Amino acid sequence: MSAHSFVFSSKVLRSLELEREAIEAQELRKRCQTYYVSQGRRAEIPRTPRVGRGTQKPFLLCEDRLIHNALYTGDIQRVQQFFSKSTAVNLVIEGSHEELQWSSQRLGIWSLCYKQEFTTPLQITASRGYDRCLRHLLSCGAEVDFAPGGKTALHEACENAQTECVRLLLSYGANPNAFSEDGYTPLHLCSSPESLPCAAHLLKFGGHVNSRTEDKDDTALHIAARFGLEEHVTRYLEYGASVNRMNDCGQTPLHCVCAQTHGKEDVERYYRVCKLLIEQGASVNALDEEKQSALHLACRTANNKIVNLLLHQGIDVNRMDYGGNAPMHKALQAVAYRLELEPEHTVRSLLNYGSIRIWPGAIPKVLKFCSQSPRTIEVLINVYDRLKVTDDWMESVPLKLFQEHQEFYDSLFALSQKPRSLQHLARCTIRNQLDGQCQKLVPELPLPTVLQEYLLLQFRGYVS
């Protein structure tokens, strides 16, 4: 198809032409500068690398598949055969990245192809944990911080939790505070439980615990908190990590741990990280750029243990964010998506600590979005001494869910024909007198446990 008949506008076409010319020029330079390694025959041609930081320098491109195979499989005998102190060990290997990009072919046809990236023998062996090969390359004089693709070998080793390779690289002088092209230090890439020994080595060799990433201004503590890495958090705090430092979104590490979505199996782990941060002085009242507290974020992820911890610390249960949402709104918005974490417990805790109630006129909307969780509906209804049940209520519950939880919804809709029970009215009266301090004061009342639980909105599976 000719340019004159192309469906894009002239502005778009011009943009495509400029991009095509740039890529073709780059491909031409690449063909002119290609360095081949074949059958032991080597020629040195300079090339300018894509280096994220530091001084750019020429490098040698290796396209010998035998060498590639030896490095990627960790074949120490062949690595020793191909690399010695008399050969170039700072070769560069060009490979394909999983990311796709538009590229122009010789005939002027544009197509999606895999993005090319550069790596080195040192990076390949370090990222895969081939410590014997790595030791040999280092002993042959490999440049330890060489980063033609924007990452050093130390970045790669930390990202893949290769402890022995991290130790080796640091002992040979690798910079523990080098920034990658994306603005990360090796410590920022220690984001898995297995990477704890790597982080320990980095700190021991002078890694800066409060260095910030370029994209989000995160410290290592932000990242460890976000991934629920309790031991990392402990280690960073021991090395002076700032517990209340904010990133570019105004979030502290406490915000990060509360905001991170996680499964039921990780509830305890994230709770322990949150508790540790608070014990070390994290401010529960800090607000991010959206004026959200840690409680807003914890309600959205429905971790009731964290919610109770924050409420026990005296956090404001009714603070509004920029969008006009209180923590209760965040909790209700998350109900349908966090059923496995039993979000009704979060709603109950908020009400027992004095949360505002929802406007009665909004109950049909709540029924529509929270009908999969009858317990959530139950606890919300039980803070009112009277409500007018309308046809909108019944129409808001999908038939399938009504049938699945028919006993509960029958008891709910029956309120249109009868008043609430005397027992419930007494409960409302006592709760109103306690004025938002139910969780604190009810356990001190001289009442049987069953009555205390009733006052605290214990679930019963029906309303009366």
Q: What would the DSSP string read from start to end of 360-426?
A: GGGHHHHHHHHTT-HHHHHHHHTT-S-----HHHHHHS-HHHHHHTHHHHHHHHGGGTSPPPHHHHH
Whether 374 and 404 have beta carbons less than 8 Å apart is answered as no
> Structure tokens of 404?
């699945």
Mean pLDDT, the chain, rounded, equals 86
Count the helix, strand and coil residues of the chain and give each as a percent rounded to the nearest 5. 50, 5, 40
Matching residue, tokens 């139910």: 438
Residue in the block written with tokens 């040195």:
44
Query: pLDDT by residue (tens digit) across 238-291?
Result: 999 999 999 999 999 999 999 999 999 999 999 999 999 999 999 999 999 999
Query: How many alpha carbons lie under 13 Å from residue 104 in its C-beta half-sphere?
Result: 16
Percentage of the chain exceeding pLDDT 90 = 73
Cα torsion angle, 435, 336, 340, 338, sign: negative
Per-residue model confidence as pLDDT tens digits over 199-229:
999 999 999 999 999 999 999 999 999 999 9
pLDDT > 70? residue 100: no
The model's confidence at residue 124, banded by pLDDT at 50, 70 and 90, is very high
Strand-pair partners of 110 = 104
- DSSP state at residue 327: H
Residues 6+ apart with CB under 8 A from 123: 149, 151, 152, 153, 156
pLDDT digits (tens, 9 = 90+) for 33-74: 333 222 232 333 233 333 344 444 566 788 888 888 999 999
pLDDT for residue 97 is more than 90: no
Asked if residue 165 lies in contact with residue 136, where contact means CB atoms within 8 angstroms, the answer is no
| Least confident piece of the model among 61-65, 171-175, 301-305 | 61-65
| Antiparallel, parallel or unpaired: β 91-104 and 60-62 | parallel
- Does residue 102 have a pLDDT over 90? no
pLDDT of residue 65: 87
Asked if 452 and 445 count as a contact pair (C-beta separation under 8 A), the reply is yes
Pull the structure tokens for residue 218.
């995160």
Q: How confident is the model at residue 25 (pLDDT cuts 50, 70, 90)?
A: low
With a cut of 70, say whether residue 12 has pLDDT above it.
no
pLDDT band at 436; cut points 50, 70, 90? confident
The answer, yes or no, to whether residue 31 has pLDDT greater than 60, is no
Q: pLDDT tens across 135-148, in order?
A: 999 999 999 999 98
pLDDT of residue 300: 96
Element (H, E) at 42: strand 41-42
Q: Of 354, 417, 355, 351, which is closest to residue 378 (Cα–Cα)?
A: 351
pLDDT band at 410; cut points 50, 70, 90: very high
Choice among 79-88, 184-193, 340-349, 435-444 with the minimum mean pLDDT: 79-88
Q: What is the mean pLDDT of residues 417-441?
A: 93
pLDDT band at 98 (very low <50, low <70, confident <90, very high): low
- Determine how β-strand 110-119 pairs with β-strand 60-62: unpaired
Which tokens belong to 425? 């009215």
Whole-model pTM: value is 0.82
With contact defined as beta carbons under 8 Å apart, do 124 and 72 qualify?
Answer: yes
The amino acid that residue 235 corresponds to is: R
Residue 422 CB neighbours (<10 A): 9
Q: Measuring CA to CA, how many Å separate 190 from each of 106, 198, 294?
A: 42, 7, 24
